[in-house]
Amino acid sequence: MSYGKSFPQYLSKPYQVLWFEPDDMVIAYVAAVVFGTQLGALAAWILTPLSVWGYLRAKKDYPRGFIKHLGYFLGIVSFKGYPGFFQNKFRE
What is the per-residue pLDDT across 2-47, written as a single tens digit (0 to 9) for each? 566 666 566 666 677 777 777 778 888 888 888 888 888 888 888 8
Domain count, the chain: 1
In a domain? residue 54: yes
pTM: 0.57
pLDDT at 52: 84
In a domain? residue 1: no
Q: Percent of the chain beyond pLDDT 70? A: 79
In a domain? residue 36: yes
* Structural domain of 35: 14-92
Residues with Cβ within 8 Å of residue 8, at least 6 apart in sequence: 14, 15
> How many C-beta atoms surround the C-beta of residue 55 within 10 A?
17
